[in-house]
Structure formats: C-alpha cells, structure tokens
Amino acid sequence: MPGETERPSNTNDKLWSGGDALNKEVELFTAGDDYLTDGYLIEYDCIASIAHAKMLAHTGVLTKQECKRLVDELQTIRKRAAKGTFTITPEQEDGHTAIEQHLTRTLGDLGKKIHTGRSRNDQVLTALRLYYKTQLHRIESHIEELINSIRQFKKKFGGITFPGYTHTRKAMPSSFRIWAGMYMDALSDNKQLLKSVRRIIDQSPLGTGAGYGVPLNIDRSYSAKMLGFSKVQKNPMYAQHSRGKFESMLLHLLSQVMYDLNRCAADIIFFSLPELGYLELSAKITTGSSIMPHKKNPDVLELVRAKYHTVAALELQVRNTTANLISGYHRDIQETKGPVLKCFTITGASLKIMKPVFENLTVLPDACSAAMTDELFAVEEVYSLVARGVPFREAYRRVAQKYNK
C-alpha cells in the first residue's frame, strides 16, 4: 500500500494487485520520491495513529490491551524516527507504508487493525495537517525572531538619515528607523495572516475515509480533540477538496513572507553597493571570488531573493495541478506533497538566515550623510517658499530651475 492513495503496488503484498503483475516501469514511475521526503512525516503519522487507536478503543473496536500494544509500538517508531534510525526503503515508497509494515511485522494481525475505520487518504491528510500546524508555529517563531533582530538593528542605527529613493532615484530624506520599521510591519502583517490561515486549516480530517466517509461507527470528535484540532472537518468530500486548497493558502502565506525577504534582500544589496556605501555587510556573511581577489559578494542575499521565486512558482503548481478536475481524490495530488514540504523548509531557512544578516549589517554614517544632498530637500524648499507667501506654482518653478540647469 504505497504512495499516498488507495492503491497498492508493493510486490511483496500481492493481496491488492488483483492478479496481474503491475508493469515494472509503471510501478517505478508512480512511486515518486516520497520515501525520501516522508522522513518529516513519520512523527505526525505516529501521533495521528495513536489518536486513532485510542478512538477505536473508546468505541470498542479495539480492546484496551490491543490499544496499549499499538500505542507502545507507535511510540517506539516515533522515537526511532526522531533519532533518525527509522528508515523508509524505496520499496516501501512512503512513510505510511513503512509504519504499517513495521506494525504488522511486530504485532501481526493486530498491526492491521489500526486501519479499521480509516483509509490511506484521511491518514495522509491528518499527518500532513499536523505537520503544517507544527511548521506554522516554527515559521511564526522565526518571524518573531527576525523582527527582534531588525529591532536591534533599528536601535543601533535607526537614528541615521539617508536618502529615500523612488524610481531608483534619490527622492526625499529617509532614515534607517523608517526603513527597518517597514520590514518589521510587513512581517507583523504576515504573522496576522499566518494566524488566520492556521485558524482555517485547524480542522481534523481523520475519519473522512477516502472522501465519502467510513461505514463504521467512529467518534471523530474524540480523535480530533486528542490531536489538538479546534474542530472536526465534517464533510468528507470537503476534506478531500481542501487538499490543494489549504496547501495553496499555506504556500501563499509562505510566499508573502518570502516576498518581503526578497524586497529586503534587494534593498541591502543595493544600499551596500560600494558606490553608495550606506550599508556594509561584514565579511562573515559575504563570499569572495576564486578569480577576483577584491570581491565581497552578497551571495546569501541573492539566494534569499531567488528563493522567493521558487516558493511563488511552487504555490502556483500546487493549486493548478488540481484545477479543472472533478471532485474526489486523484493521484495528481501526489505531485504536490514535495513542493509543500520544500516551501516550508525554504521559508524557514530564509527567515533564519536573515538574522545573522541583520546582525552583521552596519550602517556607515559618513556615506549616508554625504549622500544627503540638497535636492533631497527640494520638496521642503518648495513648502518653505509657500510658507513665505510664494504661490505654489512659482515656488515649484524656482526650485525646479535650481536643480535642472
């Protein structure tokens, strides 16, 4: 029972194959590389399976003793996964299968019983959703820590004025207080969005089966509560439909974060241009060149800038993959698992790396003050002429003439 669907292909397990040997090439093609990425999900699958086992005991499908043995074994897997000693083989295709095979090997038929009242579909949905919730907390912390780093930067350098640009041209006086504050505010708004997205996805899909419910008396509230979900996602077809939809919300959130980092990186690269010299990046976070001994390149910021586009593209992929399709599970959805995990990893790493960037970022006050040339004050000049009674048009004309000869 590999992959992420109803379907079997494990050649060791001829039960599901209905007689015909699945074409070997087809088997390889459909396997994907979940076996590589699913390491992240083992823990969440164990947590979900434990809650499911307890629910089955609660409703009398499992005895207390059976439940205990399943839970103990799942805890063992979870610990081994945390230590990195629980491996998924390519033949197992994904972590869910690896867990199943482990349970069957160690517990015999009892190992199979964990699947009563559950399908592969809601099992995967639940593990992913628990993973998402944990990841959102991690991203939230990273956002907060980065805001703190920017705040430190603002404390040290906020008082220094430097030219504000429009159209990539000097425009009016600005300061590093305003500049740093901009990104703090943007990140705070992202936190608001994060909370909203979390509130929306915080629904338990466990018990929705393959999208049409389970012909068995189960207690969905019981397992939902145990897993910390704030509500049950009642409609089983919506549970399926929300795969892709919720992922799109999550990736949109992540790409909002990455968008802000992209713009921030662009700013630092530009303002630390030696010809301007308002900012300086310490050598600790720049990289040299194998051919040009004088170079100090902002590679780290260029990669942060680039990774926005990766997340934005994967966001698009995730949603478009299922557009135009009818309701119900389609195997197409397998293609979206990797991108979602990847975007969480990228965004977390990018938020984290911006901390040492801000800690190693210095404002050079002399260059800033030298750059505060007269034309930046043209607007103020016009207004001060106006204040002295000169009509606006005349004031503008006078100041314009001064700068455009």
Q: Which is nearer to its own copies, 85 or 401 (CB)?
A: 401
Supply the minimum distance, in Å, between the C-beta of residue 49 and its own copies.
Answer: 16
Inter-CA distances, 64 with 123, 217, 246, Å: 22, 18, 36
Q: Which is nearer to its own copies, 18 or 84 (CB)?
A: 18
Alpha-carbon gap, residue 257 to 191, rounded angstroms: 9
- CA 155 to chain CA centroid, Å, is 29
Do 183 and 260 contact (CB within 8 A), yes or no?
yes
Alpha-carbon gap, residue 104 to 248, rounded angstroms: 35
Q: Which is nearer to its own copies, 43 or 247 (CB)?
A: 247
| Residue 289: active-site member | yes
Alpha-carbon gap, residue 189 to 200, rounded angstroms: 17
Q: Which is nearer to its own copies, 83 or 393 (CB)?
A: 393
Of 291, 261, 259, 285, the C-alpha closest to 272 is: 285
Q: What is the DSSP string of 229-296?
A: -SEE---HHHHHHHHHHHHHHHHHHHHHHHHHHHHHHHHHHHHT-TTT-SEEE-GGG-B--SS-TT--
Supply the minimum distance, in Å, between the C-beta of residue 251 and its own copies.
Answer: 10
Supply the minimum distance, in Å, between the C-beta of residue 79 and its own copies.
Answer: 27
Q: Which of 282, 289, 369, 384 is catalytic?
A: 289
Using only C-alpha atoms, the chain has a radius of gyration, in whole angstroms, of 28
- The number of beta carbons lying within 10 Å of the beta carbon of residue 23 is 10
Supply the minimum distance, in Å, between the C-beta of residue 211 and its own copies.
Answer: 6
Supply the minimum distance, in Å, between the C-beta of residue 312 and its own copies.
Answer: 7
Longest dimension (CA), the chain: 95
Supply the minimum distance, in Å, between the C-beta of residue 303 and its own copies.
Answer: 6
Task: Identify the helix (H) or strand (E) that includes residue 382.
Answer: helix 378-387
Alpha-carbon gap, residue 354 to 145, rounded angstroms: 10
Q: Which is nearer to its own copies, 40 or 212 (CB)?
A: 212
Q: Which is nearer to its own copies, 155 or 309 (CB)?
A: 309
| Residue 167: active-site member | yes
Q: Which is nearer to its own copies, 69 or 170 (CB)?
A: 170
> Which long-range contacts (C-beta less than 8 Å, at least 24 apart) are formed by 228-232?
228/133, 229/129, 229/202, 229/203, 229/204, 230/199, 230/202, 230/203, 231/202, 231/203, 231/204, 232/203, 232/204, 232/207
**283 class by beta-carbon count within 10 Å (0-12 exposed, 13-18 middle, 19+ buried):** exposed
Instruction: Look at residue 368 and give its three-state secondary structure.
Output: helix
Of 96, 319, 122, 116, the C-alpha closest to 235 is: 122
Residues involved in catalysis:
167, 289
